[in-house]
Amino acid sequence: MAHIRKNQRNLTGAEKKRFVAALLELKRRGVYDELVRLHVRHYRADGTGGLRTGHMAPSFLPWHRKYLLEFERALQVIDPAVTVPYWDWTTDNTPAASLWSEDFLGGDGRRSDGQVTTGAFAYATGNWTIDDGVLERTYLVRALGRPSSPIALPTKDELDWAMNESLYDAAPWDSTVARGFRNRLEGWAAGSGTARWRNHNRVHRWIGGQMLGAAAPHDPVFWLHHAFVDLLWDRWQRKHPKSGYLPARKLSAGDPQAGRAIALDEPMPPWRTTPAEMLGHRSLYRYET
């Protein structure tokens, strides 16, 4: 039977406790950091060449759907009742939201070094030591709203601009494409300052710390953010039932994006799973809305 993914704001105290406990156990077993490393290995920007699996690419949505499923299955090995909650950042859009409370994900980073000092993922607990491979910080960092140069979460208009686009994606299938639901939701934009970040990307910027880089899943909020992105894809599919994943066919050898963007029936490394196999999820899980 399909399990249910709930809005995090509707979780009971007991459900939050079990989710957090399963995360800590995954971390203790080394499975969590393995999942983070997988994300780092498959983060490839479009300026660098090679196959883009999860980012700046049409497979952004199916790749992360598969990635979340892997994470959720790992959690369920520890506690079969646990599922990935989603964070609707259009409604729970301030640092005062219960998402950031002591009994769930913990709060903002402190002023001096950005270190998160509250909740189960605070460094001082000894249970959430991080090797992010880049800045040699061993503690979880957040700067909610980026006080040094404030950035807001996506507005409803900005999300509508993505949701109302009926085309899934368009050539050149990367971070520069202005049309298409995928990049409007993933959120790479031209311009300067905060205008460069839309929707999904803007949420990463708003949180700061590890969420800014390829090692973003070190912050547990990553999963709740991406579960909402996954739900938005589902809503978009229902809104545009005639629109499908693109590119539908393998790009021809002469196409500059051949070997760089994944078509409907091509595998998404590190799995053999194709986007076509990830278009629906209702036999596996459902979102409670």
Residues interacting with Cu ion, by CB under 5 A?
Answer: 54
Taking the complex as a whole, how short is the minimal distance between the CB of residue 42 and Cu ion, in angstroms? Answer: 8
Minimum CB–partner distance for residue 54 and Cu ion (Å): 5
CB of 12 to Cu ion, least distance (A): 27
Q: Which is nearer to Cu ion, 82 or 224 (CB)?
A: 224
Cβ closest to Cu ion, residue 54 vs residue 180: 54
**Least Å distance between CB 186 and Cu ion?**
8
State which residue has the least CB distance to Cu ion.
54
Q: How far is the CB of 200 from Cu ion (least distance, A)?
A: 5
Q: Least distance from C-beta 214 to Cu ion, angstroms?
A: 8
Residues in the chain: 289
Residue 54 or 247: the one with the smaller Cβ distance to Cu ion is 54
Q: Is the CB of 71 or the CB of 104 nearer to Cu ion?
A: 71
Cβ nearer to Cu ion, comparing 54 with 109: 54
